[in-house]
Amino acid sequence: MSGVPSTTDSLASALSRTALAPVQVVAFWSAIALPLAYLPLLAGGLETGELSLFVGLLAVHAAALVIGRDHAQE
């Protein structure tokens, strides 16, 4: 009977999908919109203070790509 999922497993799975869905939506659309923030930084040239901002922006974009990759795939 180990192959039969229990009710609590399916309930926990449904709750995690429900809770994760809004996070995936925000991450998906953020991954689409974040490259627009690169334009002003790159157009003006990257100075020392802006370099850390650009690297942080790249890290946030990478995280948004990973988190939002499964949005609306059914």
Distance between first and last Cα of the chain: 28
* pLDDT > 70? residue 5: no
Domain boundaries, the chain: 21-74
Residue of 2 and 55 predicted with greater confidence: 55
The span from the CA of 24 to the CA of 22, in Å, is: 5
Q: Indicate whether this model's pTM tops 0.75.
A: no
Spatial contact of 32 and 69, defined as CB atoms under 8 Å apart: no
10-68 per-position pLDDT tens digit: 877 777 777 888 999 999 999 999 999 888 888 888 888 888 889 999 999 999 999 99
Phi and psi at residue 44, in whole multiples of 5°?
Answer: -85, -5
Give CA–CA dist 29/4, Å, rounded: 37
Q: What pLDDT is stored for residue 3 in this prediction?
A: 59
